[in-house]
Amino acid sequence: MIKTIDPATSNNLDLYNLMSTAIAPRPICFASTVDKNGNVNLSPFSFFNMFSSSPPVMVFSPARSGRDNSLKNTHENVLEVPEVVINVVNHDMVEQMSLSSTAYAKGVNEFVKAGFTEIPSEKVKPPRVAESPISFECTVQEVIELAQTPGAGNLVIAKVELIHVDEKYFTDGILDTEKLDLVGRMGGNWYIRAIKESLFEVTKPIRTLGIGVDALPKGIRESDVLTGNDLGRLGNLEHLPSTSEIDVAAVMEGAEALSKKDIHLLAQRMLKDGNTKKAMALLLYGESL
C-alpha cells in the first residue's frame, strides 16, 4: 500500500522529518563565514552538494528556523560578506561538528565552542577548519531566498576559488575514498560512515553502450531469483555471449545437471563476484532448457 502525502497540507516538522529521512545520505557543508564586523561563525548544513566542476560551484541552503522563522547566522553573514569556506567533515570530527550546530547567540565563535582550530584562508576572509581533510575557499555568487516562511530554504551559490587538501588522504596521487572516512547526514540523529564495509562499486556506463534490460530474454527478465540489481548489471554488458562462450560456461559449471532455478542461483553468485559475462552465458544456456 502506498501512502500519498500532499506537502501543501502537511505539518512543516512532519514534512521536514520525512524528506530528510528519505533523501539521504546527504553530504555535509561545514561552512565558516564572517559578518561585517569580522565575527566568525561555523555551522554545518546537510542541504548541500556540488553543482558544477567547470566552473567549480557548490550550493548549500541555510533554512529559516521552523520555530520562529529567524535566519541562520550563516545566511546573514554571506549577505554581509559574500564569502564562505566549505569544510569537508569526516568521522574524526563528527561529534565536534554536531556541537557547532548548537544555536549559540550571534557573535559566538563556534570554532572555540566546538574546539576546532582556525587557519587563515588565502583568498577569502572566513578561516578554514584545520581538522578538516579538505577545505574549499569560495566566493558567494548569489543567495536565492525560496520563501519567507518557517523552514524555507535559502540557496547559497558558492564558486570555489581555492582548494586545500591534506596530502595524507591521497594514494598514488588520487584522493582516496577509504582514507577520507567521510560521514553523511541521515534523518533524525542518524549519520552514516563511508567505511570500507559500506562501500561498493558500480561500473559507470560512460564509454560503453549496454544492451539494456529490455534486450534480455523474457525468462531472465522475469526470473524469480534475479533481482533488479542483477538485471541492471546484465543489461550493462555491451553484447550477448557467443554460442561457443555459452557452451564453454555450461560445461565448466556442470550446468547440464542443474535445473533452471539452480542455474539462476549460480549465475546470481557469479554476478556478486563480478563475473557478469560468464553469468550471462550460463543464464542463456538455461534459456535453452
Architecture of domain 7-198: Roll (2.30)
For residue range 258-275, list pLDDT tens digits in order. 999 999 999 999 999 999
Distance CA 23, CA 111 (A): 29
**DSSP H helical ranges for the chain:** 12-22, 73-80, 94-100, 110-114, 177-180, 218-221, 228-235, 243-252, 260-272, 276-287
pLDDT at 101: 94
pLDDT at 66: 83
**E runs forming strands in the chain:** 29-34, 40-45, 48-53, 56-60, 83-87, 118-119, 128-129, 134-145, 154-165, 170-171, 174-175, 183-185, 191-193
126 pLDDT higher than 90: yes
pLDDT attached to residue 86? 98
Cα–Cα distance list, 87 to 19, 246, 276 (Å): 24, 52, 39
Question: Which pLDDT score, from 0 to 100, does residue 288 have?
Answer: 87
pLDDT surpasses 90 at 204: no
pLDDT > 90: percent of the chain: 88
CA distances from 169 to 99, 132, 165, 166, 193 (A): 25, 11, 8, 6, 16
| Average pLDDT for 41-68 | 95
Average pLDDT over residues 9-35: 94
| Residue 223: Cβ-neighbour burial (10 angstroms; 0-12, 13-18, 19+) | buried
- CA-based diameter of the chain, in Å? 80
Q: Is the pLDDT of residue 67 over 90?
A: no
Q: In this predicted structure, what is the pLDDT of residue 57?
A: 98
Give the whole-angstrom CA distance, residue 8 versus residue 26: 24
Q: pLDDT value at position 207?
A: 84
Residue 201: which pLDDT band, with cuts at 50, 70 and 90?
Answer: confident
- The answer to whether 226 and 56 have CB atoms below 8 angstroms apart is no
Q: List the domain boundaries for the chain.
A: 7-198, 213-287
Does residue 200 register a pLDDT over 90? Answer: no
pLDDT for 136-193, tens place per residue?
999 999 999 999 999 999 999 999 999 999 999 999 999 999 999 999 999 999 999 9
Task: Return the pLDDT at 206.
Answer: 83
pLDDT of residue 159: 98
Q: What is the pLDDT of residue 202?
A: 85
Question: Mean pLDDT score of the chain, rounded to an integer?
Answer: 95
Helix (H, G, I), strand (E, B) or coil at 110: helix
pLDDT digits (tens, 9 = 90+) for 79-123: 999 999 999 999 999 999 999 999 898 889 999 999 999 999 999
pLDDT at residue 203 tops 90: no
Statement: residue 208 has pLDDT above 90: no
